[in-house]
Amino acid sequence: MDNALRSEQGPVLVTGGAGFIGSALVRRLVADGLSVVNVDKLTYAGNLDSLGDVVRSPNYNFFHADITDAATLASIFRGCSPQLVFHLAAESHVDRSIDAPHEFVQTNVVGTVQLLEAARRHFTSLDESGRRRFRFIHVSTDEVFGSLGGTGCFDVSTPYAPRSPYAASKAASDHFARAWMSTYDLPVIVTNCSNNYGPFQFPEKLIPLMILAGLRRDRMPLYGDGSNVRDWIFVDDHVSGLIAAAERGAPGETYLFGGDEEHTNLEVVRLVCELLDELAPDGKPHEQLIHFVADRPGHDHRYAIDSRSARDSLQWRPTIGFRDGLQATLAWYMEHREWVERVQSGAYHGERLGLSS
């Protein structure tokens, strides 16, 4: 099979490339010499600051666009003629989806369908060689599978059982992506990942929220009793998986990326506190700042990913352990306070989300 990431074969289109995972992917692709077209609506969680020096690269182009805008998408595909699409644009915060489910349906479902249609029309315009190389990588989440008990892991055969508006919208988008493969022969690959963390993550997510609260010596709010379990993957390891899926994945297949790092939320926050005590000591244990709050509605108990199929098929594996990744993440936030101030810009200041009703 042709390598989908040979630079001479055309640009790579990334939706949501100003977001957390998307910007990490764009930075990697440009560093690898690829020509990248970034399409992003620049919502509160998308910020061009996350791209660093990439924005000045001759291999990078940006379109400020909404993926629900079919005419604009068609124009972008005609203008850049991508060989590969990484679809990451999404509303992605569970708590926000509780308050505004329609926004999640609009972006994650309607927007995905509009993008699939634009990609399909582009795909049918390609010659045989171009169609053989083209791939549509649909990036999703493990939350589509619902909640696990105390044992077992999600794998590629796990049935869907979403339990939040966010998870339901992503599950629907996964099904539409696969339907475009089955119905129109669009070469789609679906990926699902566990919880990502690392530099440039918007402060509403657990790890940066706790890091920043700890640095300010504010209360560190933790849902319920903190016993909910998540599998954590460093964002650069996830990006490596997405690139491996594009290079070596088979259309119609699903690949799951996890870090094999299961921890309760309380364990995560305690480790953040331990690292804060080491890297930003102020004479008082940061663990004193942990503050338990009422659990959110429909809070899934446990997620865990069985990524053996991705490891075997794609020759991929995570390389960054959780403690090392968390320490690097904390150090990055300590060194980039100005980035946090710019991305928050009055829209979000660490308040609890998802319980306004």
pLDDT in tens, 28-38: 999 999 999 99
Determine the pLDDT at residue 5. 66
Place of tokens 């309380």: 266
Determine the pLDDT at residue 357. 36
Of 166, 223, 255, 303, the catalytic one is 166
User: Rounded to an integer, what distance in angstroms lies between the CA atom of residue 234 and that of residue 142?
Assistant: 15
pLDDT in tens, 216-269: 999 999 999 999 999 999 999 999 999 999 999 999 999 999 999 999 999 999
Catalytic residue list contains 142: yes
Q: Which residues pair with 197 in a beta bridge?
A: 234
Cβ proximity of 143 and 194 under 8 Å: no
pLDDT in tens, 124-134: 999 999 999 99
Q: What angle do CA 228, 234, 236 make, to 5 degrees?
A: 155
Determine the pLDDT at residue 248. 96
Residue 225, token pair as written in the block: 């009793």
Indicate the burial class of 242 (C-beta count within 10 angstroms; 0-12, 13-18, 19 or more).
Answer: buried
Cβ proximity of 102 and 109 under 8 Å: no
pLDDT in tens, 282-301: 889 999 999 999 988 877 88
Determine the pLDDT at residue 352. 45
**Domain map of the chain by residue range?**
8-201+232-262+301-321
Model confidence band, residue 136 (pLDDT cutoffs 50, 70, 90): very high
Of 95, 142, 231, 261, the catalytic one is 142
User: Rounded to an integer, what distance in angstroms lies between the CA atom of residue 222 and that of residue 231?
Assistant: 17
Model confidence band, residue 355 (pLDDT cutoffs 50, 70, 90): very low
C-alpha dihedral sign at 193, 130, 19, 240: positive
**DSSP SS3 for 230:** strand
pTM: 0.93
Of 143, 236, 247, 260, the catalytic one is 143
pLDDT in tens, 326-346: 999 999 999 999 888 887 765
Radius of gyration of the chain (CA): 20
In sequence order, which residues have a C-beta less than 8 Å from that of residue 154 and are 6 or more positions away?
Answer: 142, 145, 148, 192, 256, 303, 304, 305, 306
Determine the pLDDT at residue 356. 43
Indicate whether 139 pLDDT > 70.
Answer: yes
| CATH fold group of domain 8-201+232-262+301-321 | Rossmann fold (3.40.50)
Greatest distance between any 2 Cα atoms in the chain? 66
Catalytic residue list contains 143: yes
**DSSP SS3 for 102:** helix
Determine the pLDDT at residue 351. 47
Determine the pLDDT at residue 4. 56
**Mean pLDDT along residues 45-49:** 84
Model confidence band, residue 1 (pLDDT cutoffs 50, 70, 90): very low
